[in-house]
Amino acid sequence: MAAMSATVATVQVRQRDGSVGVEEVSSLTLGLLDAAIPWRRFRSYRGQRHYSGSYWSTTMESLVGYESRLELANLLCEDFDPSTTWILSQPFLLAGADGSRKRRHVPDYLVERIGGRACVIDVKPAALLADPKIAAALTWSARMVESIGWEYVVRSEPEPVRLGNIKFLAGYRRAFQFIPVEVEAVRLAVREPMTIGQACRIGAGQIAEPEYARGIVLHLLWAGKLTTDLSVPLSSTTIVEPTS
Give the range of the structural domain holding residue 9, as residue numbers without chain letter.
2-155
Q: How confident is the model at residue 48 (pLDDT cuts 50, 70, 90)?
A: low
Q: What percent of the chain has pLDDT over 90?
A: 89
Report pLDDT digits (tens) over 56-67. 999 999 999 999
> Within this chain, do residues 25 and 139 fall inside the same structural domain, yes or no?
yes
Q: How confident is the model at residue 41 (pLDDT cuts 50, 70, 90)?
A: confident
Q: What Rg do the C-alpha atoms of the chain give, in angstroms?
A: 21
Q: What is the CATH number of the domain that holds 20?
A: 3.40.1350.10
Which of 32, 35, 34 lies closest to 15 in space, CA to CA? Answer: 35
- Number of domains present in the structure of the chain: 2
Least reliable range by pLDDT among 2-11, 167-176, 204-213: 2-11
Last residue of a domain, one of 92, 121, 155: 155
Q: Tell me the C-alpha distance between 13 and 215, whole Å.
A: 40
Asked whether residue 7 carries a pLDDT value surpassing 70, the answer given is: no
The gap from C-alpha 195 to its chain's centroid, in whole angstroms, comes to 28
Round the average pLDDT of the chain to a whole number and report it: 93
pLDDT at 216: 98
> Within this chain, do residues 151 and 165 fall inside the same structural domain, yes or no?
no
Q: How confident is the model at residue 5 (pLDDT cuts 50, 70, 90)?
A: very low
Asked whether residue 158 carries a pLDDT value surpassing 70, the answer given is: yes
Asked whether residue 1 carries a pLDDT value surpassing 50, the answer given is: no
> Within this chain, do residues 167 and 149 fall inside the same structural domain, yes or no?
no
Task: Give the single-character DSSP code of 149.
Answer: T
> Within this chain, do residues 39 and 147 fall inside the same structural domain, yes or no?
yes
Last residue of a domain, one of 136, 155, 174: 155
Task: Give the single-character DSSP code of 172.
Answer: T
Last residue of a domain, one of 155, 185, 200: 155
End-to-end Cα spacing for the chain: 48
> Within this chain, do residues 87 and 165 fall inside the same structural domain, yes or no?
no
pLDDT at 135: 97
> Within this chain, do residues 13 and 133 fall inside the same structural domain, yes or no?
yes
> Within this chain, do residues 137 and 175 fall inside the same structural domain, yes or no?
no
